[in-house]
Amino acid sequence: MELSPKQQSTSLIQTAKRILLLTHQNPDADAIGSILALFLSLKKLKKDVTAICTDSVPTFLQFLPFSSVIQNDFAGSRDFIINLDCSQTSVKRLGYKLEDNILKIVITPENGSFKKENLSVASNSFNFDLIIILDTPDLERLGAFYDKNPEIFYQAPTVNIDHHPTNTYFGKVNLVDLTATSTSELLIAIIEALEKQDKILDEYIANCLLAGIIGDTSSFQNTNTTPKSLTCAAQLLAAGADQQAIVQHLFKTKSLSTLRLWGRILEQLQEESTLRFVYAKATSEDFRQAGAKEEEIVGVIDELLRSVPAYDLVLLLSEREKGIAGSLRAINPSVDCSEIAKALGGGGHQGAAAFLVVDGDLKEVEERALAQVREYQKKRLGIA
């Protein structure tokens, strides 16, 4: 009988020695919570684990235990190899010395001489025997890491663990459950399956997983909250997770710069009452004037969602270093935000979706995004 994706995933983990964990750029609570929880779990199993996210852990998530273990790129994971063709003459003597931070390698031939064309350089293959990608619908969402290291995905089997409906099933093993509230929720079953001899789930891992679930359900306020997610949360609380501390850090702690940024965004809030949506934007000047980092915009769209119940959806655009980011939230549960985001090159869930446009300015992207929302709403509402 064929093994289930969960069984295949746990089998690969059990046999692997060096494991690479990856999650998407612009990480949220579920991305960071799930990668930390799995990192700590695999460390308990005595695995050699590396955790990488292209972008740094947002400030509001740095309270999670051991968040500093997440790297932005490899740190010495590959050897640099110098190849010398010795088919015409053999090596008599080899030596090296370091002068002013320059490594000089001295090669004395037995006879004749070596030429530049005899020399080549290379990097050896990565030494990972398993790659696990978390909360990421496609490889491009890994950002700069994928752009710089595409060959790594041909050198080791990949396990894809996710809950997004836009997932492209890119892994050798695809543990993708669209009914799950979060990737953190899916990891609970993986950890339970790995607990054959020693107990893995502890208060640190439980805190990371609960942060992921709370983050993706907006503390169980979103329509994606299910009986299973509440059962999982109860299990994590019993294991020592601190719900109040998580809620405090995710939703109740705001710096003055964040509040200033939110104020500037709310001041620019606009509506299209006939088509039942509201939208706002944040320019690079708004971030500068507020003294805020890009990550501080997180959460403002959810505040908008709770504040304008008479509308169907909310759109928020923001000018970022990498391009123009867009976030969509459904107020009316019949709205499918992922359909709008997909048309703009993004994706996500029915109730929440996002996109990033790297080749346009804010005005241009605003026009495109608004046109897409208007078209969607006209069709949904039956407006000519």
What is the reported pLDDT for 252? Answer: 86
Same domain, 335 and 368: yes
Output the domain CATH number for residue 271: 3.10.310.30
Which of 187, 222, 250 is the endpoint of a domain? 250
Which of 250, 280, 312 is the endpoint of a domain? 250
Output the domain CATH number for residue 17: 3.90.1640.10
Same domain, 30 and 141: yes
Same domain, 353 and 266: yes
The CA distance from 341 to 327, in Å, is 8
Same domain, 194 and 264: no
Which structural domain, as residue segments, surrounds residue 104?
80-123
**How distant, in Å, are the alpha carbons of 5, 132, 135, 139, 168 from that of 160?**
10, 6, 8, 10, 10
Same domain, 164 and 113: no
Q: How many domains does the chain have?
A: 3
Same domain, 46 and 185: yes
Same domain, 137 and 98: no
Same domain, 161 and 306: no
Same domain, 297 and 334: yes
**How distant, in Å, are the alpha carbons of 14, 124, 131, 183, 292 from that of 7?**
11, 32, 16, 17, 44
Same domain, 145 and 215: yes
pTM of the predicted model as reported, rounded to 2 decimal places: 0.81
What is the reported pLDDT for 127? Answer: 82
Same domain, 228 and 274: no
Which residues share a beta bridge with 329?
314, 352
Phi and psi at residue 121, to the nearest 5° = -125, 155
Same domain, 374 and 349: yes
**How distant, in Å, are the alpha carbons of 32, 148, 295, 316 from that of 325?**
20, 22, 12, 8
Which of 191, 216, 250 is the endpoint of a domain? 250
What is the reported pLDDT for 77? Answer: 54
The CA distance from 329 to 314, in Å, is 5
What is the reported pLDDT for 377? Answer: 96
**Cβ neighbours of residue 102 closer than 8 Å, sequence gap 6 or more:** none
**How distant, in Å, are the alpha carbons of 2, 166, 315, 338, 355 from that of 312?**
44, 22, 10, 14, 19
What is the reported pLDDT for 197? Answer: 61
Which residues of the chain are modeled with pLDDT < 70? 75-79, 122-125, 197, 305-306
The CA distance from 181 to 209, in Å, is 12
